[in-house]
Amino acid sequence: MTQPARRPRRLHAGLWITIALTAAVVFFLFRRWSGAGFDTRDFLRSFASADWRWLCAAWLLTILSYYIRVLRWLVMLRPIAPHASQAALFRATAIGFSAVYLIGRPGELVRPYLTARSAGVPFLSQMAAWLLERIYDTLIVLALFGYALAALVQSRPSVGPTLHWILERGGWITAITCSICLAALAALQLFSETLEARILSALGFLQAHHQERAARLVRAAVDGLRATRSPRSIALLLAWSALEWYIIYLCFFAVFQAFSQTAPLGTTAILTYIGFVAFGSLVQIPGIGGGFQIVAVLVLTEIFHLPLELSASVALVTWIVSLVGILPLGLVLAFYEGLTWRNIIDIEKEAAS
């Protein structure tokens, strides 16, 4: 009886901790940049000077990246749900990412829940697919970020020798390690049956009824890996992942082209920017964002030495295009599905229970 009462408090406390940490960072940045002053008119001018044709192209590329996510998820779903609907999966994806923006990180559960419900498969199997997708994305963006950071340091001799050595070696170590982990993950998927057998064998100490329940959970979870145990499926996962991040790169490239001061920045600069903001987006305050914009401004001002007002404009546009851009479509599709705000909250609670 005490467990249901604790969970809302933990989530509530976690949200307040996130807000407090973000506020502390904002206060630090305010103190850091207050001496330079922030000219609101320069900010508005740089925002208004953006080429909206490039920004529209960036938004379309963002929507396309979500569609590529759907095609990648289908590789994991089709073996256990041959008749899974691509349209239903796209609706679940758009609504799920909109829920992340509106609710915060707990909204991550909405997408696998809606996918499992529409395809008629266990929810745990889709949580396993979500985890596999997240691991692929994290390893790929880390590898790209590591290579880009090492290359960027080489082209910027203004960095001090100690910091230059740390960033360059750190970049190469990160890139090589993540590349090896990505290859190991692909190999592990080929042996999902062996993995399941080992886990079930390790649970032999449980009583019979507990062991039976644990076995059902393990089999449902491993289904997400079992669906991609063939070399062809793994190759498709890698191919769709590479295409997805190439499209994301093109999206950020289009945003940089929309501003005259960022247009000359090359591939390594854009990949470095993507790497930093990808991890800044882990701090997600519902309806506000948080870490994404802060990290984006830090990178543009401290690494690329752009004016604060321009950096704030680019960060805001990047956030709107890449994260908030799915929200209108997600709300329309939620209305089409007959979902309301209360339904989405209930889905998140039911999936978390």
Q: CB count, 10 Å around CB of 177?
A: 14
> What is the C-alpha separation between 335 and 351, in angstroms, rounded?
20
Alpha helices in the chain (DSSP H): 2-33, 40-48, 52-77, 86-103, 110-119, 123-155, 161-189, 192-202, 208-226, 231-257, 267-280, 291-298, 308-322, 327-336, 341-352
Please report where in the chains the tokens 């330079």 appear, as a residue: 36
Amino acid code (one letter) for 150: A
Question: What angle, rounded to 10 degrees, do the helices at 308-322 and 291-298 form?
Answer: 140
- pLDDT, position 3: 42
Q: Is 287 exposed, middle or buried (0-12, 13-18, 19+ CB in 10 A)?
A: exposed
Q: Give pLDDT, residue 217.
A: 59
By 3-state DSSP, what share of the chain in percent is helix, strand and coil, each rounded to 5? 80, 0, 15
pLDDT of residue 256: 95
Tally the C-alpha atoms within 13 A of residue 312's C-alpha that lie toward its C-beta: 18
Q: What is the pLDDT of residue 340?
A: 72
pLDDT of 10: 43
Looking at residue 70, its pLDDT comes to 95
Decide: 206 and 214 in contact? Cβ < 8 Å. yes
Per-residue confidence (pLDDT) for residue 168, from 0 to 100: 64
- Domain range list for the chain: 81-120+323-353
List the pLDDT tens digit at each of the 353 positions of the chain: 444 444 444 444 444 544 555 555 555 555 555 555 667 788 888 888 899 999 999 999 999 999 999 999 998 888 888 888 899 999 999 999 988 888 776 778 889 989 998 888 888 778 878 888 888 888 888 888 777 777 776 665 555 555 555 666 666 777 677 777 767 666 666 665 665 666 556 666 666 655 666 666 556 556 555 556 677 888 888 899 999 999 999 999 999 999 999 999 988 889 888 888 887 666 555 545 556 778 888 888 878 888 888 988 998 899 889 878 898 999 899 888 887 767 776 776 666 66
